[in-house]
Each structure stands twice: as C-alpha cells, then as structure tokens.
Amino acid sequence: MTAARPEPRAGLLGQLSRFVLVGGLSALVDYGLYQALLHLDVWVHGAKAISFICGTTTAYLLNRRFTFTGDTGGAGRFTGFLLLYGLTFFVNVGVNGLALKIIAEGTPMRVTICWLLAQGTATTINFLVLRTVVFRR
C-alpha cells in the first residue's frame, strides 16, 4: 500500500497562462463596471473602488479554482487573500488617482490609460504574492 502523493504544483508557465486568462476576464468585469459607474456619474474614486472589488473577487475565485489548483483554502489562505487585496486595493486606486492627476484632461483615452496603469501595477503585485505567499505549498 502506497501513500497518496500530493499533486505536483503546476509549473510557472501553466500558472502564468491561466493567471493571464483569468485576469483578462476579471479585468473585463472591473473595467466594464468602472465605465458603467462613471456613466452613472458615480464619483471616480468610488467607481474605481467598487469595480476593483468586483474584479478582484472574480479573480480570486477563478484563480483559486483554475490557476493555483490543489489549494484547499482555509482561514489562513483567506486571510492572506484579504491582506494582499487590501494592499493592492490601495495601490490600484492610488495609482489610478495619481495618473488622473498627472495625465492632462483632454488626453485621448485618459481614463482608460489611467485604469491600465493601475491594473498593470496591481496585477503584477497580485501574481507574485499569490504564487509565493497565498497559494504557496
């Protein structure tokens, strides 16, 4: 009788590929909601906060299920998620706000450019911390 071996951790390339796909879907949720809220005249920072939370929740649930497979979750894992996304929430909203101040009004696609800068910064932090801390085995 042999002991069951744990499933090997997915390789970096596989994880990164799935992370990018999940991230694309989550970004659509974030950006779509952000644009919708802006069209409803929601305060820009409030719209960014709400859209980030919705996009991030989508990303976490899908990454947990498809990207970093074999994870059993648990309270510690969820606490790590909350700490990471709390940090990236402030980074994301802060970078977006800073970019809106730096990039001149009237610049074509200004809001989208600011959103992309904020999203790219937060996404980079998220992948590195999810892989090395939150979903570490």
Query: pLDDT tens for residues 59-118?
Result: 888 888 888 775 555 667 777 778 888 888 999 999 999 999 999 999 999 999 999 999
Helix (H) or strand (E) holding 134: none
Could you tell me the pTM of the whole model?
0.72
CA distance 19 to 17: 5
123 closest CA partner among 65, 67, 39: 67
Sequence-distant (6+) residues with CB within 8 A of 88 are: 56, 122, 125, 126
Range 2-22 average pLDDT:
69
Sequence-distant (6+) residues with CB within 8 A of 127 are: 16, 19
Sequence-distant (6+) residues with CB within 8 A of 1 are: none
